[in-house]
Structure 1
Amino acid sequence: MKMEKKVEEVKKVLENQKMIIAFSGGSDSTILAKIASQVKGEFLLITVDNGVMPKECINSARKIAEEIGLPHKVLKENFLEDPNFKENNPNRCFICKNKMYGELENIAKKENFPLIADGTNISDLLEDRPGLMVNYQKNIISPLVNAGITREDVLRYLKENKINYATSTTCMATRILTGEEITTKKINRISYAESLVKTLSKNDSVRVRDQKGIAQIEVINIDPLLNPNILKHLDAELKAVGFEKITLDIGSSQKVKKDLVVYKPCKDEKNKIMFETELPYKIDIKNTCRELESLGKLKCSDSMGIAMCEIEGQNVTVFKNGKIVARKVQNPDDAEKLLIKVLPRIRRIL
């Protein structure tokens, strides 16, 4: 489906609605807000300043919301006061998003907004994101997912339409190893380190990961940093704020595109076309089957860890280990359309 048609699908969801949009100013929430500004309806953009976001994130969100022309609020919280969040267990992202969207629910009730939406795109469903479970539990709608809009679609649309967005909106808690306590000291030194690296490298997208006191620097373009004087300066500055050792990741921090489906020829049946994808998490077959019921004829076995669904003559099989196989499809586009119907209904095991 062409991007123009996908955008029209998003507009249909947004048209004449009264809705809160979770807004970070990043690419996904920006494209959603921009499309919302083009239809009739009442929309409120809300940014949650949770105390662990990059310093420039909130100011960028304000500026971008003003450019789009929709009302915008910033809710200030301090998640570092929550022991469960600070513990930094594998479900930290779920805890964080649950708290953030809980704040949005409070505003929605007070100001009579019946719907809350976010900028989750279809590519996000291929990644290990426990926080997505919050969307399902709190009935947060994701118009980009329903329209089959990928991460590449978003970035291309923003570039072609010259729409500004923030490139650094990820929580700095993601820079700390899972299981290592999140502290104010660690967040502050990560914040300082990233600001310094941005200035020295001229990179908009920078990550400085705290690996048990070792600073691991990740940038899209490392060339500006490959200067002896700059490296000495970085080493001295980052050690001064508490890092024990400074390292530079020589690979690009840019995300590699992951195809929604991959062609897999059938060995026994040469004329059969099969496509598959593998999710990086285990699937809750029982709850996934409940979600798939409305799509077509269903056969499920929780004990065997498998769900099979016939949808308009096509077949999709979901396995507990995360594999999804599409059969009786004509080509990659046909397989992607089927997967776009199925992915939002997949329920993971937390």
Structure 2
Amino acid sequence: MGELEDLIVEKGKDGVIIALSGGLDSSTLAALCKKLLGDKAIAVTVASELQPEEEIEGARRVAEEIGIRHILIEVSLLKEEVARNGPDRCYHCKKAMFRRIRELAEELGVREIFDGTNASDSWRPGIGALRELGIRSPWAELGFRKEEIREIARNLGLSVSEKAPQSCLATRIPFGERITEERLMRIWRAEKLIRELTGVKILRVRDHGGIARIEVSRDELASILDPPKIDAIVRGLKGLGFRYVTLDLEGYRPADPPPP
């Protein structure tokens, strides 16, 4: 890990902001920066319409656990470029987020900004926006993959070491279908209800108009197939406005890439 520590110390010597989502990658990076740089490391979390409330609260908790200075900024990301949900949605979303973080960095007199993209992230359209804005991704630059980062988090004793992968709520809506606050809120409520009923860790409710397509990891399918739970899930999701409620037997998988 020497090369990683050298990069953090060199690039962060005059201060660094770490974009903290509260997930495994950004939290572990923030913890390392705090350990190596002390108060020169600052964590920044962006709150928007696209992040579940639980993720924002999770970022607060992990920042407190690490002992790092934490700044929460609110940014409205549901502009037309994002709302129309084209293949370039992630690019526009990341650009708006990190442009605001860059503005904050200038206000604080900090040059470097890190994000938690890792070498396992094979399809990330927002990476182009990060590069345009001069954002560095130490994990990806040095070839660290998800499981290696998880092992570092375990060694650091971080509470997020076993945390399941998360993604913004917009990924639940197929490309080309418009994103609205109402749809995002419906998805968030649906996932919250299912988690409370079943305790599943990996969950996505894909919103196909009137159809809710539920994805959980294959090894958690049994947690959701209990008849009383099924009845409660169907009632709850229909109460949120879905006409049909389905369970995807292939299990959870990352959202499909945009069409060419």
- TM-score, structure 2 as length reference: 0.90
Query: Equivalent residue for 1:140?
Result: 135
Contact 1:43–1:70, Cα closer than 8 Å, also in 2: yes
User: Residue 118 of structure 2: which of 118, 121, 128 is its match?
Assistant: 121
Query: Which structure 2 residues correspond to residues 194-209 of structure 1 after superposition, within 5 A?
Result: 194-209=191-206
**Cα distance in 2 for residues equivalent to 1:250 and 1:8:** 43
**Residue from 29, 54, 57 that aligns with 2:55:** 57
Which protein has greater RCO, CA pairs closer than 8 Å, 6+ apart?
2
Output the CA distance in 1 between the equivalents of 2:114 and 2:22: 14
- Partner Cα separation in structure 2 for residue 203 and residue 113 of structure 1: 40
Q: Equivalents in 2 of 1:203, 1:45: separation in Å?
A: 29
Q: Which residue of 1 aligns with 2:236?
A: 237
CA distance in 2, matches of 1:27, 1:40: 20
2:148 is equivalent to residue 149 of structure 1: no
Is the Cα contact below 8 Å between 2:14 and 2:110 reproduced in 1?
A: no
Aligned partners of 1:146, 1:87: CA distance in 2, in Å? Answer: 32
Equivalent residues of 1:225, 1:231 under 8 A apart: yes
Aligned partners of 1:44 and 1:72 also within 8 Å: yes
- Are the equivalent residues in 2 in contact too, given 1:54–1:168 (CA < 8 A)? no
Alpha-carbon separation, structure 2, partners of 1:140 and 1:79: 19
Structure having the higher helix fraction is: 2
SS in 2 for 1:113: coil
Q: Give the match for residue 174 of structure 1.
A: 171
Deviation at 1:185, TM superposition (A): 1.2
CA distance in 2 between counterparts of 1:155 and 1:140 reads 22
Which residue of the other structure, out of 15, 26, 30, is the alignment partner of 1:29?
A: 26
Contact 1:198 1:205 in 2 (8 A): no
Looking at secondary structure, tell me which structure has more strand per residue: 1
Instruction: Show the 5 A alignment for 1:221-232.
Output: 221-232=220-231
Inter-partner Cα distance in structure 2 for 1:190 and 1:172: 7
Please tell me whether the aligned partners of residues 54 and 170 of structure 1 are also in contact (alpha carbons under 8 angstroms): no
2:92 aligned with 1:95? yes
State the Cα distance separating 1:188 from its structure 2 match.
0.9
Shift in Å, 1:201: 1.7
Which amino acid in 2 is paired with 1:253?
Answer: Y
User: Once the 2 structures are TM-superposed, how far is the Cα of residue 151 of structure 1 from its aligned partner?
Assistant: 1.1
Could you say what secondary structure the match of 2:18 adopts? strand
- Conserved 8 A contact 2:49-2:181: no
What SS does structure 1 have at the residue aligned with 2:36?
coil
Q: Deviations over 1:170-207 (max 9, x none)?
A: 11001001010101111111001100111122112211
1:139 is displaced (CA, Å) by 1.2
Task: Return the alpha-carbon distance in structure 1 between the equivalents of residues 180 and 20 of structure 2.
Answer: 25
Match of 2:8 in 1: 14
- For the aligned residues, what is the CA RMSD? 1.9
Tell me what 2:69 maps to: 71
Residue ranges of structure 2 left out of the alignment (5+ in a row): none
Under a length normalisation based on structure 1, what TM-score does the superposition of the two structures give?
A: 0.68
- What residue is the counterpart of 1:164 in the other structure? 159
Partner of 1:122, secondary structure, is coil
Deviation string for 1:5-59 (max 9, x for gaps)? xx32221111124111111010110111111122135111000011111120111
Structure 1 residues 201 and 186: alpha-carbon distance in aligned structure 2, compared to 1, 3 A threshold: same
User: 1:27 and 1:140, CA in 2 relative to 1: closer, same or farther beyond 3 A?
Assistant: same
CA shift, 1:158, in A, is 2.0
Indicate conservation of the 8 Å contact 1:177/1:210, yes or no. yes
Give identity over the alignment, percent: 34
Structure 2 CA distance, aligned partners of 1:49 and 1:43? 20
Q: How many residues align?
A: 250
CA contact (8 A) 1:122 1:145 kept: yes
